[in-house]
Structure 1
Amino acid sequence: MTDRIRPQPLTAEAFAPFGDVLEATGAPDKIINQGLCGRYHDRAVLDFNEGRAGISLFKAEPRSLPYRLDMVERHPDGSQAFLPMSMDPFLVIVATDNRGQPGQIHAFLTSAGQGVNLHRGVWHGVLTPLHAPGLFGVVDRIGDGQNLEEHWFDREIVIED
């Protein structure tokens, strides 16, 4: 049997159990730079056990829908923010936690200009751009110790169009 999941649009309300939606919508919190720049201030909480925040660049191969999900991962020692460096939408896959194992899977499709900050310990799929160049700025924990857990599924899970 195949689990089929249809992605929903990424909204702050729907994504709240998993993290923060990063977007510059509505009125900015502050106007800076001689009135020429709106600042959307402090939109996510970086949450790390020890270590420090680092900024990395990820360049991922584009995927397509339908997408076969075979693995999710989580980072128990730190949150992880993904900021696309293009205006292309990407797929965000997350799962609830069921006593240390991934539970119900949710898929979200971002709008142009949206990023996400995954809370520490949230099960999530790998970076899944749907268009080239697949380039992202990633803010996450840099530090000692193992900060990665993977779970491989023994059933077929497909994220549909």
Structure 2
Amino acid sequence: MHMIDIESLDAATFAPFGDVIEAAGAPDMQINDGFCERFHDRARFDFGPDGRAGLSIFRAQPRTLPYRFALLERHPLGSQAFIPMVLAPFLVLVAPDNGGVPGTPRAFLSAPGQAINLLRGTWHGVLTPLAAPGLFAVIDRIGTGPNLEEYVLPTPYTVRQA
């Protein structure tokens, strides 16, 4: 079994896999008569030429650390955003592509108020909330064609708190 330590989720470190969606830094503009700050265009959504954006609600069972996993998946036809509907951290598991199979996985821990958008084709683990109710809004591709590839790692990984 392989062990991986959890990393903090930040935009620069996560950029090869996708976007960290959060109200960080200075807002891009003030709207609503000055009562609202807009953090504009924070994710690289990609639904391909024949797809469209869809909004779904996922409710996932919370997991505990250390967390053992062997299944990774990716969506070759579109990006996928996970927006928690509660202020609780969740675990984000991703891996670079290594010739059509996942490379060495990495684990990130979100901060309350952070969401993610996974780029098209990014290998990732299943939705992994660490607290109930595990409720997420998910924006992803709706369209024809096979948009799910799964891969079972030959040796499981265990994620541990660093």
Query: So what's the TM-score if we normalise by structure 1?
Result: 0.97
Aligned to 2:64: 64
What amino acid maps onto 1:61 in structure 2? Q
Runs of 4+ off more than 4 Å: none
What amino acid maps onto 2:54 in structure 1? G
Aligned to 1:88: 88
Deviation (angstroms), 1:87: 0.7
Please give the per-residue CA displacement for 1:36-87, whole angstroms capped at 9, x wherever unaligned: 1101000011112221001111000000111011100000000000100011
**Matched residues in 2 for 1:144 and 1:33: separation?**
38
Is the counterpart of residue 103 in structure 1 residue 99 in structure 2?
Answer: no
Please give the per-residue CA displacement for 1:6-52, whole angstroms capped at 9, x wherever unaligned: 11000111101000000001221111111111010000111122210
Alignment of 1:26-65 (within 5 A): 26-49=25-48, 50-65=50-65
**Matched residues in 1 for 2:159 and 2:34: separation?**
43
What amino acid maps onto 2:82 in structure 1? F
**Matched residues in 1 for 2:10 and 2:137: separation?**
20
Is the counterpart of residue 116 in structure 1 residue 134 in structure 2?
Answer: no
Where 1:13 maps in the other structure, the secondary structure is helix
**Matched residues in 1 for 2:153 and 2:132: separation?**
27
Is the counterpart of residue 20 in structure 1 residue 16 in structure 2?
Answer: no
**Matched residues in 1 for 2:26 and 2:107: separation?**
28
Query: So what's the TM-score if we normalise by structure 2?
Result: 0.97
Is the counterpart of residue 10 in structure 1 residue 9 in structure 2?
Answer: yes
- Count matched residues: 160
Please give the per-residue CA displacement for 1:66-124, whole angstroms capped at 9, x wherever unaligned: 10111000000000001000110000000010000000111000001000000000000
What amino acid maps onto 1:38 in structure 2? E
Aligned to 2:155: 155
Aligned to 1:139: 139
Deviation (angstroms), 1:5: 0.3
TM-align CA RMSD: 0.7
What amino acid maps onto 2:23 in structure 1? A
What amino acid maps onto 1:41 in structure 2? H
Specify every segment of 5 or more residues in structure 2 that has no aligned partner in the other structure, as ranges: none
**Matched residues in 2 for 1:43 and 1:51: separation?**
20
What amino acid maps onto 2:86 in structure 1? S
Aligned to 1:127: 127
Deviation (angstroms), 1:156: 2.3
The share of aligned pairs that are identical, in percent, is 59
